[in-house]
Amino acid sequence: MNPAPRFGLLVVGDEILSGKRADKHLPRVIELLAARGLSLAWARFAPDDRDALAGTLREALAGRDVVFGCGGIGATPDDHTRQAAASALGVGLQLHPQARALIVARLQRLAAQQGQVYEPDRPDHLQRLQMGEFPLGARIIPNPYNQIPGFSCTSPSGAVLHAMPGFPVMAWPMIEWLLEQHYAAYFRRGAWGERSVIVFEGIEGQLTPLMQHIEATHPQCKVFSLPSVDHPTYGRHLELGVKGPIEPVQAAYADLLDGLRAAAARLGPELVR
């Protein structure tokens, strides 16, 4: 099986950075990926500032990562993701024909529901068409909530940006659709695991050589260490473990336990995920 791409998350919006709204995307995207045996490599938050956002996107799209972008694709003055993505990719914006058709169909339905005649040249209708202006070469992402699409575009290095609205009710189904349609070949359901153990009074510096030995001996696995100083049950401790393909994880975890016991570490409960 080919290795899965690195997935990143970019959440756009001053309202997140100012604390007016709490971000909900990060835990949900982690959950959506984990359900498919995948993981999130990084997450960033960006303001509603076109130049700053373009710089962030330029950096994020310099490699080969798959980036889920949530927010900033509307048509109001504080929405800059479409323009920033075009700038980061060095291309212009163009009204996508499929996006135009979907937006017009949406406006026609809304007019009919209100007992009005659709007027294509009305200023607010023309403004809404701006939501279909995507970087040249972009592909649409279906939006099951209101049919106003997002877009996907690919950088010269092979990185992919999937840009969606900031509303969870829209973004989350769109991310699920993307995963199922484009990344199913990388799913590792039931084949990816994690095992760990509580090490009471564990000190990371003292256990680092053991962690390095485990990763060198079991290259398919990754060692992780989660320290805590004030846990209500375990007090000061480390959760020390390994994650990766299930069979290599079993062998790596057995070696990790042997190393901890040889170091006379005081062990607590074992955890399996």
Map out the domains of the chain as residue ranges. 7-186, 193-272
| 188 touches 243 (CB < 8 A) | no
Position 65 scores a pLDDT of 98
pLDDT in tens, 180-202: 999 999 998 667 788 999 999 98
pLDDT of residue 147: 93
Q: How far apart are CA 27 and CA 30, in angstroms?
A: 5
From the list 169, 181, 167, the residue with the least C-alpha distance to 70 is: 167
pLDDT of residue 254: 96
5-to-80, 127, 191 alpha-carbon distances in Å:
26, 36, 17
pTM over 0.75: yes
Alpha-carbon distance of 64 to 158, in angstroms, equals 5
Tell me what the mean pLDDT of segment 241-248 comes to.
90
Take residue 98 and report the two structure tokens written for it: 């499929």
Instruction: Write the DSSP symbol of residue 62.
Output: S
Question: Tell me, what's the pLDDT at 68?
Answer: 98
What confidence score (pLDDT) does residue 124 get?
Answer: 87
* Averaged pLDDT for residues 234-254: 92
Helix intervals (H) in 95-203? 97-113, 123-129, 168-182
CATH code of 7-186, in short, is: 3.40.980.10
Residue positions counted in the chain: 273
Specify the pLDDT at position 190.
Answer: 65
Candidates 37, 47, 41; CA nearest to 26 is 41
Q: Summarize pLDDT for 204-213 with one digit per residue, the tens.
A: 999 999 999 9
**For residue 1, what pLDDT is reported?**
53
What pLDDT sits at residue 271?
Answer: 86
* Residue 224 tokens, joined: 């992780």
Q: What is the pLDDT of residue 120?
A: 87
Closest CA to 164 of 176, 144, 150, 145: 150
Distance CA 108, CA 128 (A): 12
Residues 6+ apart with CB under 8 A from 58: 87, 88
> How confident is the model over 120-130, as a mean pLDDT?
90
Token digits for 200? Answer: 């009471």
- Decide: 65 and 6 in contact? Cβ < 8 Å: yes
Of 91, 17, 33, 34, nearest in space to 61 by CA:
91
Residue 134 has pLDDT above 80, yes or no: yes
Q: Please determine, for residue 231, whether its predicted confidence score (pLDDT) is greater than 90.
A: no
Average pLDDT, rounded, for the chain: 94
Higher pLDDT, 123 or 97: 97
Output the pLDDT for position 233: 87
Banded model confidence at residue 37, pLDDT cuts 50, 70, 90: confident
What is the model's pLDDT at position 244?
87
What integer is the mean pLDDT of 227-241? 91
SS3 category, 266: strand
Nearest to 36 by CA among 192, 248, 160: 192
What CATH code would you report for 193-272? 3.30.70.2860
Contact 76/219 with Cβ under 8 angstroms?
no
Q: Which residue has the higher pLDDT, 111 or 55?
A: 55
d(CA 73, CA 66): 18
Within 10 angstroms of residue 61's Cβ, the number of other Cβ atoms is 23
Q: How confident is the model at residue 16 (pLDDT cuts 50, 70, 90)?
A: very high
Q: Name the E strands within the chain.
A: 7-12, 40-46, 66-70, 93-95, 133-135, 139-141, 150-154, 160-164, 192-200, 222-231, 235-245, 266-272
